[in-house]
Amino acid sequence: MPHLTWIQGPTRSGKTARLLSHLRTLAADQKHPTEAVFLVMAANGDNRLALVERIAAELPPSLPLTTATPAGFVQNEVILFWPLLVESLGLSPQFPMKLRPEKEQELATALWQPWFQVGAMVKDQPTGGIAVPGWTTAQIVRRSLDFLQLAAAAGIPAEDIGSMVMAGMPPGTAPPEVWQTIGTALVTWRDWCLQGGLLTYAIAMELYWRHLLPLSAYRDRWQQRFLGVVADDLDEYPAMVGRVIATALDLDCPVAVSWNPQGQVRLGVGADPQALEIWRHQSSEVITLPEEPETPAHSLAATWAEPIVQGVLDPIAILEPVEPMAVVQATSRGELLRRTAEAIGAAVQAQQVAPRDIAVIGPGFDAIARYSLAEILAHQGISVASLNDQRPLVSSPLVRAVLTLLPLVYPGLGRLLDRDAIAEMLVVLSQSPQGDPQETWMDRVQIDPVRAELIADHCFRPDPDQPDLLAVTEFPRWDRLGYQATEAYEQLRQWIAAQRQARQQRLLTSPVNLIDRAIQTFLWRGSILPYDQLAALRELLETAQHFWEVESRLRQQRRSPSPFQPPDNAASASGETSPEGRFLSLLHQGIVTANPYPVKATDPQQGVTLSTVFQYRSQRLVHPWQFWLDAGSPRWLTGSDELFGYQLFQQNWTGRPWTLESVEQAHEARLERILRDLLGRTTERVVLCHSDLAVNGQEQAGPLLGLVLAQGDFFP
């Protein structure tokens, strides 16, 4: 008899601990073949790493299990059982290759070039075009691909996307035929990728639930491979995971899940909690945990969540002061950032709280806020840990410096280079190999910005085909540069000349080798880089390696007689014809962010944590003190954490256009979950940080303003 155990409770009520305890019991009760394991799932990669650490600490090492995220599990299964899909669907027998999002967008843009004009001919048929008023080409491609991702996560065939979006979009957004054409373009994209053996997250997910999971050969192997399914935080999973649960129960595999009604952080980015909550009613056992676990440090939620939520959501309520809450106020946002950092510094200096016990959380965290808080706190000797800072990869000076080397080594890229980029490269890549191990690369630079500008003005020779760095003697007063800067510049010139020669002799097989050599020669040198800089360099290498792997596959396809043909207009969006030029254009568009494959969970011991609300809740972090930045902002209600049009792919969608009333209801429900969840993740104090004026100068009157006005000032 299949057995489903449902463990539910609010934030920090001990759900994961109870789930792991249940897993230990399941393992003890079963006799299993040696190759079979329990499938233990977590919502995202960082949660999976944290769960692995808990498993290692709380469960015996002999317990057979494997951990995965829903997306990772699906991709691995599709690749592992690709021969079954080749046989059943008549796919290409070549090994499938994953497409990263940035390469997915580039190839889709190239494939859809004929669709961007109304009346264009596609497969000898006129099209209505996929141009949406007010959307750029990049937005059209990205949002269309998001539709495919949302449909796959929801268990909806790609062929139904056009009609669903046409029915659900508000009137006047775009002509109805545009949405139908976008649906057709998405099916064309999916089929094109399958012909070439290319896999995106969306395509892999649809292949899994639609074709692989129903196959009897796969289901027979399932029973031999898995002893049961354990899913932590099921409220963060896509609806298609329900099919995995159903399959496990059909095959007499026990299932255990945990559920947080205050969670649902990923609602809007692929998760569908309502579609999965129906399994609670089919559970053999429902375990409801109390508000507070038996721990000495209770959260603020037990006492204060209810009155705060009721007061915030009730427009006529009169809010009372909340004992553990206080306010830091200012007129402008710049002043607020300074006062917030000073308040944190004063509390730390007074030994009321340690830096690692403080989190600054906001509905949005722009680069100015991160930089300002980090700089002011650093001057007070307080370190900062910026959580999942999803800035474009090219925002890193180290990355830009390495990319500047490509036009100096590979021909035809001179138009992508200017004097400012050369000057920045000279500063960044001129660090000394000697020095104090505690110094950063900026402490070791041998060419300062002033000398770098002089060299760039006098020694950089622009050229569309082969730009060059000339000898330092081209500068009439080169003696003013100094010995140290001159030597560093000449060493860089010699290194570039050596790489050009290696390329001509075919010893430099791809730009990936050049990037790796540059990092090893100029940036690494045995030094210990900060985690954010290391992450940016790792992401650059991963992006470059994936880009040229896909390029190699497409080049082989063009030479083969296969019916699959890559688009010849792959360079049309960027204007570049060479792979090196398209790679640089791709990065300079800001599509790629510095988020490599996670190697560790966030370390709470690093210092004051800076995070958006979404990131903080996704990471399941807990801090005794929380500072809620921009407490008067309307973004606490409206937010921007969801994909465009996600509502149409939820199981509770009515089939009619999404109304303003429905949006407001969804925002209020989200705000209530945020308040309860954040209060459940702090144990001592919440400081509301409010400025009368936002960054754009407008007066702030968000949903938490009444709560702000009811509290007293913060005095460390």
Classify strands 121-122 and 125-126 as parallel, antiparallel or unpaired. antiparallel
Q: Quick one: how many helices (H) and strands (E) in the chain?
A: 27, 18
451 within some domain: yes
Q: Exposed (0-12), middle (13-18) or buried (19+): which is 244, by Cβ within 10 Å?
A: buried
Task: Give the 3-state secondary structure of 135-164.
Answer: CCHHHHHHHHHHHHHHHHHHCCCHHHHHHH
Residue 111, φ and ψ in degrees, nearest 5: -65, -35
Let me know whether 321 and 386 are in one domain. yes
* Residue 529: strand, helix, or coil: coil
Look at residues 226, 257, 288 and tell me which one is the last residue of a structural domain: 288
Angle between helices 241-250 and 216-225 (to 10 degrees): 80
Let me know whether 170 and 212 are in one domain. no
* Residue 650: strand, helix, or coil: coil
* Residue 604: strand, helix, or coil: coil
Cα 355–Cα 360–Cα 365 angle in degrees, nearest 5? 135
396 within some domain: no
| 331, 710 Cβ separation under 8 angstroms | no
Q: Please tell me the predicted confidence (pLDDT) of residue 295.
A: 47
Let me know whether 559 and 521 are in one domain. yes
Task: Give the 3-state secondary structure of 92-114.
Answer: CCCCCEECCHHHHHHHHHHHCHH
If one counts the domains in the chain, the total is: 4
| 5, 113, 272, 274, 628 from 264: Cα distances, Å | 19, 37, 8, 10, 20
Q: Exposed (0-12), middle (13-18) or buried (19+): which is 443, by Cβ within 10 Å?
A: exposed
Q: How far apart are CA 414 and CA 466, in angstroms?
A: 6
Length of the chain: 716
Cα 394–Cα 395–Cα 398 angle in degrees, nearest 5? 75
User: Which pLDDT tens digit goes with each residue over 152-190?
Assistant: 999 999 999 999 999 998 887 888 889 999 999 999 999
Name the token pair of 317: 């309520």
Let me know whether 558 and 464 are in one domain. yes
Cα 539–Cα 543–Cα 545 angle in degrees, nearest 5? 115
| 511, 406 Cβ separation under 8 angstroms | yes
593 within some domain: no
- The b/e string for 305-343 (b: 16+ C-beta within 10 A; e otherwise) is beebbebbeeeeeebeebebbbbbbbeebeebbebbbeb
341 within some domain: yes
Let me know whether 447 and 528 are in one domain. yes
Q: How far apart are CA 241 and CA 225, in angstroms?
A: 18
Look at residues 267, 288, 309 and tell me which one is the last residue of a structural domain: 288
Structural domain range at position 523: 403-588
Alpha-carbon radius of gyration of the chain:
28
Cβ atoms < 10 Å from Cβ of 171: 7
Q: How far apart are CA 68 and CA 710, in angstroms?
A: 45
Report the predicted TM-score, pTM, of the whole model to 2 decimal places.
0.89
Let me know whether 433 and 540 are in one domain. yes
27 within some domain: yes
Let me know whether 577 and 636 are in one domain. no
Let me know whether 227 and 191 are in one domain. no
The residue whose two tokens read 């949903």 is 703
Let me know whether 313 and 281 are in one domain. no
Look at residues 554, 588, 622 and tell me which one is the last residue of a structural domain: 588
Q: DSSP H helical segments within 226-351, as ranges?
A: 241-250, 273-277, 301-313, 333-349
DSSP conformation class of 625: E
| 32, 218 Cβ separation under 8 angstroms | no
Let me know whether 468 and 498 are in one domain. yes
201 within some domain: no
| 394, 588 Cβ separation under 8 angstroms | yes
398 within some domain: no
- The b/e string for 506-542 (b: 16+ C-beta within 10 A; e otherwise) is eebebbbbbbbbbbeebbbeebebeeebbbbbbbbeb
Q: In Å, how far from its chain's centre is CA 66?
A: 23
Let me know whether 506 and 537 are in one domain. yes
CA atoms within a 13 Å half-sphere pointing along the CA-CB vector of 491: 17
Q: How far apart are CA 242 and CA 251, in angstroms?
A: 14
Q: Please tell me the predicted confidence (pLDDT) of residue 131.
A: 84
Q: Please tell me the predicted confidence (pLDDT) of residue 597.
A: 46
List strands edge to edge, sheet with 65-68: 65-68, 37-41, 226-231, 255-259, 4-8, 285-288
Q: In Å, how far from its chain's centre is CA 120?
A: 35
| 418, 447 Cβ separation under 8 angstroms | no
| 69, 200, 214, 243 from 84: Cα distances, Å | 23, 18, 11, 19
* Residue 483: strand, helix, or coil: helix
Q: Please tell me the predicted confidence (pLDDT) of residue 432.
A: 67
- What is the signed CA dihedral for 88, 90, 94, 99, rounded to 10 degrees? -90
| 67, 100, 233, 260, 595 from 45: Cα distances, Å | 10, 16, 13, 19, 11
DSSP string, 7-63: EE-STTSSHHHHHHHHHHHHHHH----TT-EEEEE-SSHHHHHHHHHHHHHHS-TTS
35 within some domain: yes
| 40, 65 Cβ separation under 8 angstroms | yes
* Residue 4: strand, helix, or coil: strand
Q: Which of 127, 138, 121, 588 is nearest to 394 (CA)?
A: 588
Classify strands 4-8 and 285-288 as parallel, antiparallel or unpaired. parallel
Let me know whether 419 and 555 are in one domain. yes
Helix (H) or strand (E) holding 386: strand 384-386
Q: Which of 620, 632, 637 is nearest to 677 (CA)?
A: 620
Q: How far apart are CA 508 and CA 512, in angstroms?
A: 9
- CA 685, 690, 695, 699 torsion-angle sign: positive
| 423, 455 Cβ separation under 8 angstroms | yes
CATH number for 378: 3.40.50.300
Residue type, 570: A
Q: Please tell me the predicted confidence (pLDDT) of residue 559.
A: 67
Cβ atoms < 10 Å from Cβ of 468: 15
Q: Exposed (0-12), middle (13-18) or buried (19+): which is 365, by Cβ within 10 Å?
A: buried
Spans in the chain with pLDDT lower than 50: 1, 294-296, 570-574, 597-602, 604
